[in-house]
Amino acid sequence: MEPKLNELSEAIKAGRRKEAKLATEELLAAGVAPEEVMSALSAGMDDVGRRFKANEIFVPEVLVAARAMQTSMNLLEPVLLSVGSEPEHTVVIGTVEGDLHDIGKNLVAMMVKAANFKVVDLGTNVSPDAFIAALREHRAAVIGLSALLTTTMPAMRRTVELIRESGVAVKVMVGGAPITQQFAQEIGADGYAPDAASAVDEAKRLIARTAA
C-alpha cells in the first residue's frame, strides 16, 4: 500500500480533498494500520508547513491542505480511537477574550493536530476561566493563546496571569499578529511562534523541555 500512502500525502500537499478522502477510504478498507495512515497525513502536512515557513506557499494553500487533512481525519479518527491509539499529548487552544478572530488559530490547530497531538479547540472569545477549566479537564501539556488585536493583548496578559495563579502545570505559548517574542516574555509565556508551522516546533520544544 506504499503507493496509496504516498498518494494520500500528495493529495494533502496539493489540498485535493476528494482524492484525500478516497485514498483514506481505500487504505482503511484494505486494512492498513490507522497509525500508518496518520503518518502519511502527517508527512503531507509536514511538507505543507515547511513550504509555508519558507514562503513557497501561503495561507490559501495551507487552508486547502488543512481542509483535505480534516476530510481524511474525519474517517481516520474513529478508527484510531477504536484501536486505542491516542496522541500522547494534548494542546488546548483558543483566541482570548474579546477577540473573535480565528484563521491563525485554526491553522495552528490543524498543524498541531497533523503533528499527532490531541487538540482541544475552545474557539474564539474564550474567557480565562474557560481556558483553565479545559486545562484541568484535559490535562493538557501545552496551551496556545491567540490574539489578533492590539486591544486584546491585555486579555492575553490577564489570561496568562490567571493560568499561573490557578497553579495548573502547563506550558503557555502565544501568537497572533501584534504579538512579539518580547511581549511573550513580558507576560510570562513559555513560548512564542510567529506562524502556524513554527507553532508545531514550539509545542514540541516545550514538551521536550518539560520531559527533560
70, 44 contact by CB (below 8 A): no
Task: Choose the stretch contacting another protein; rule: CB under 8 A; options: 25-33, 37-45, 70-78, 91-99.
Answer: 91-99
99 binds another protein (CB under 8 A): yes
How would you class 192 by CB atoms within 10 Å of its CB: exposed for 0-12, middle for 13-18, buried for 19 or more?
A: buried
Nearest to 172 by CA among 64, 94, 68: 94
Burial pattern 148-180, b for ≥16 Cβ within 10 A else e, equals bbeebbebbbbbbeebeebebebbbbbbbeebe
161 binds another protein (CB under 8 A): no
Task: Choose the stretch contacting another protein; rule: CB under 8 A; options: 42-50, 76-84, 150-158, 203-211.
Answer: 150-158
> Taken in order 121, 200, 151, 133, is the CA torsion positive or negative?
positive
| 9 versus 124: smaller Cβ distance to another protein | 124
Task: Map the footprint of another protein across residues 106-145, applying CB under 8 A.
Answer: 106, 125
Among 177, 181, 185, 188, which residue sits at the site for another protein (rule: CB under 8 A)? 177
Task: Map the footprint of another protein across residues 36-65, applying CB under 8 A.
Answer: 55, 57-61, 63-64
Give me 10's grid cell. 500528495
83 binds another protein (CB under 8 A): no
DSSP state of 123: -
**Rounded least distance, CB 24 to another protein, Å:** 19
178 binds another protein (CB under 8 A): yes
**Rounded least distance, CB 104 to another protein, Å:** 8
97 binds another protein (CB under 8 A): yes
User: Which residues, in sequence order, are CB contacts of 60 under 8 Å at separation 6+?
Assistant: none
Burial pattern 82-115, b for ≥16 Cβ within 10 A else e, equals eeeeeeebbbbbbbbbbbebbebbbbbbbbbbbb
| 101 versus 138: smaller Cβ distance to another protein | 101
How many residues bind another protein, per CB under 8 A? 29
| 110 versus 168: smaller Cβ distance to another protein | 110
Residues of this chain that bind another protein (CB under 8 A): 15, 55, 57-61, 63-64, 67, 97-101, 103, 106, 125, 149-152, 154-155, 177-178, 180, 194-195
